[in-house]
Amino acid sequence: MKPKLIPVEQNQTACKDCSIRRLALFNGVAEEELSWTQNYRSCQYQMPARREIYRETENSEFMFTIYHGWLAIYKALENGKRQILKIALPGDIIGYQANLTGPMSYSAVSLTDAVLCAFPRAEMPELFRNNPTIAKRLAELNSRDMNLCHNRLTTLGQHSAIEKVAHCCAELFFRIKIIHEELENDQIEFPLSQEDIGDITGLTKIHVNRVVRKLREMNLMSISDRVLTVLDADKLCDLGYFDPRTVHTHILY
Amino acid sequence: MKPKLIPVEQNQTACKDCSIRRLALFNGVAEEELSWTQNYRSCQYQMPARREIYRETENSEFMFTIYHGWLAIYKALENGKRQILKIALPGDIIGYQANLTGPMSYSAVSLTDAVLCAFPRAEMPELFRNNPTIAKRLAELNSRDMNLCHNRLTTLGQHSAIEKVAHCCAELFFRIKIIHEELENDQIEFPLSQEDIGDITGLTKIHVNRVVRKLREMNLMSISDRVLTVLDADKLCDLGYFDPRTVHTHILY
DNA sequence: CGAGGGATTGAGATTCATCAATCTATGTGG
DNA sequence: CCACATAGATTGATGAATCTCAATCCCTCG
Rounded to whole angstroms, the Cα distance separating B124 from A144 reads 18
User: Do the domain assignments include residue A115?
Assistant: yes
In this structure, the answer to whether residues A136 and A184 fall within a common structural domain is: no
Residue A236 near residue A221, CB atoms below 8 Å? yes
| Residues B15, B130 within the same domain | yes
pLDDT of residue A36: 85
Which of B27, B82, B94, B99 best tests the A interface by mutation, with the highest count of A CBs <10 A?
Answer: B99
Sign of the alpha-carbon torsion through B127, A29, A96, A241? positive
Of the pLDDT bands very low, low, confident and very high (cuts 50, 70, 90), residue B104 is very high
Interface mutation target, options B156, B165, B201, B248, chain A, most CBs of A under 10 Å: B156
Residues of chain B with Cβ-Cβ distance to A156 below 8 Å are: 153, 156-157, 202
Q: Which residue's CA shows the smallest distance to C1' of D9?
A: B209
Nearest-angstrom CA–CA distance, B30 and A200: 44
Q: Is residue B148 part of a domain?
A: no
B106 with B215, same domain: the answer is no
Does residue B95 sit in the same domain as residue B59? yes
Contact A71, A117 (CB under 8 A): no
* Number of other residues whose CB lies within 10 A of the CB of residue B131: 19
A235/A173 Cα distance (integer angstroms): 14
| Arithmetic mean of pLDDT, A75-95 | 95
Pair A163, A51 in one domain: no
Contacts with A132 from chain B: Cβ below 8 Å: 129
Instruction: Please provide residue B66's backbone torsions phi and psi, each rounded to the nearest 5 degrees.
Output: -75, 125
- CB A158 within 7 Å, strand D: no
Q: Which of A62, A58, A55 shows the shortest CA–CA distance to A5? A: A62
Nearest partner of A138 among A186, A171, A96, A107, judged by Cα:
A96
Q: Which amino acid is at A88?
A: A
**pLDDT band, residue A42 (cuts 50/70/90):** confident
List of E strands, chain B = 6-7, 43-47, 52-54, 62-68, 71-76, 82-88, 93-94, 107-110, 114-120, 187-189, 221-224, 227-230
pLDDT, residue B227, reads 95
| Whole-angstrom distance, CA of residue B37 vs CA of residue B29 | 9
Per residue in B201-247, pLDDT (tens digit) is 999 999 999 999 999 999 999 999 999 999 999 999 999 999 999 88
The residue among A218, A220, A223 whose CA lies nearest residue A208 is A223
Q: Say what the pLDDT of residue B147 is.
A: 95
The answer on A164 and A59 residing in a single domain is: no
Same domain, yes or no, for A133 and A197?
Answer: no
Angle at B27 between CA B115 and CA A121, to 5 degrees: 130
Distance CA B84, CA B76 (A): 9
> Which nucleotide lies nearest residue B205, CA to C1'?
D9
- Residue B227 maps to a domain: yes
- B97 contacts A143? CB cut-off 8 A: yes
Question: Which band of pLDDT confidence, cut at 50, 70 and 90, is reported for residue A141?
Answer: very high
Q: What percent of chain A has pLDDT over 90?
A: 73
pLDDT at A1: 39
Q: Are residues B112 and B168 in the same domain?
A: no
Residue A187 pLDDT exceeds 70: yes
Flag if B156 and A158 touch (Cβ within 8 Å). no
Tell me how far apart the terminal alpha carbons of chain A are, to the nearest angstrom. 44
CA distance A230 to B78: 24
Is the domain of B200 the same as that of B98?
A: no
Per DSSP, B58 falls in state S
So what's the pLDDT on residue A2? 45
Q: Cβ–Cβ contacts within 10 Å for residue A143, how many?
A: 19
- Hey, is B105 helix, strand or coil? coil
In a domain, B146, yes or no: no
> Is residue B47 scored above 50 in pLDDT?
yes
The verdict on residue A252 lying in a domain is: no
pLDDT at A57 (0 to 100): 93
Please write the tens of the pLDDT for every residue from B48-79. Answer: 999 999 999 999 999 999 999 999 999 999 88
Q: What are phi and psi of A99, to 5 degrees?
A: -85, 85
Which of A138, A161, A174 is closest to A239 using CA atoms? A161
Please give the sequence-ordered ranges of beta strands (E in DSSP) within B122-211, or none if there are none: 187-189
- The whole-angstrom distance between residue B250's C-alpha and the CA centroid of its chain comes to 15
Give the contacts of B2 (CB within 8 A, at least 6 positions apart): none
SS3 percent helix, strand, coil of chain B, rounded to 5, is 40, 20, 35
User: A11 with A136, same domain?
Assistant: yes
Average pLDDT over residues B108-130: 93
**Do the domain assignments include residue A71?**
yes
**Arithmetic mean of pLDDT over chain A:** 91
Mapping DSSP to helix (H, G, I), strand (E, B) and coil, where does residue A128 land?
helix
Determine the residue of chain B that is closest to A138 in CA distance. Answer: B98
DSSP, collapsed to helix, strand or coil, labels residue A156 as helix
In total, how many domains does chain A have?
2
At residue B181, the pLDDT reads: 82
Contact across the interface for B101 and A132, Cβ inside 8 Å: no
Closest by CA to A120, choosing from A62, A67, A175, A57, is A62
**What are B167-180's pLDDT values in tens digits?**
999 999 999 999 99
Contact B83 A136 (CB under 8 A): no
Asked if A165 and A214 touch (Cβ cutoff 8 Å), the reply is: no
Is B98–A252 a contact, with Cβ atoms under 8 angstroms apart? no
Cα angle B237, B198, B68 (rounded to 5 degrees) comes to 75
CATH of the domain at B101: 2.60.120.10
Helices (H) and strands (E) in chain A, counts: 7, 12
Structure confidence by residue, pLDDT tens digits, A56-78: 999 999 999 999 999 999 999 98
A34-48: average pLDDT: 87
Burial status of residue A147 (CB atoms within 10 A of its CB: 0-12, 13-18, 19 or more): middle
Q: Strand C nucleotides below 7 A of a protein CB? A: 5-11, 15-20
Give the range of the structural domain holding residue A112, as residue numbers without chain letter. 6-140
- Check whether A8 has a pLDDT greater than 80: no
Those of residues 138-157 in A touching chain B at CB distance below 8 A are 139-140, 142-147, 149-154, 156-157
B94 found inside a domain? yes
**Residue B227's beta-bridge partner residues?**
B189, B224
Q: In what order do the strands lie in the sheet with B221-224?
A: B187-189, B227-230, B221-224
- Within 175-214 of chain B, which residues have Cβ less than 7 Å from strand D? 193-195, 205-206, 209-210, 212-213
From A112, A140, A168, give the residue that closes a domain: A140
Give the per-residue pLDDT at B251: 62
**Is the pLDDT at A11 greater than 70, yes or no?**
no
Query: Average pLDDT, stretch B6-21?
Result: 81
Do B131 and B27 share a structural domain?
yes
Torsion of CA A107, A108, A109, A110, to 10 degrees: 180
Residue B129 forms contact with A (CB below 8 Å):
yes
Q: Is B133 on the interface with A (CB under 8 A)?
A: no
pLDDT at residue A9 greater than cutoff 50? yes
Q: How far is CA B151 from the centre of its chain?
A: 15
* Whole-Å CA distances, A131 to A28, A42, A247, B6: 11, 18, 25, 40
- Which residues in chain B have Cβ-Cβ distances shorter than 8 Å to A241? 77
Overall average pLDDT of the A136-162 stretch:
96
pLDDT at B153: 98
- Strand D and A114 CB separated by under 7 Å: no
Shortest distance, CA B26 to any CA of chain A (angstroms): 16
Q: What is the DSSP letter of B49?
A: T
Does residue A104 belong to any structural domain of this protein?
yes
Give the pLDDT score at A38: 86
State residue A183's pLDDT score: 66
CA distance B112 to B93: 16
Considering the domain architecture, whether residues A17 and A114 belong to the same structural domain is answered as yes
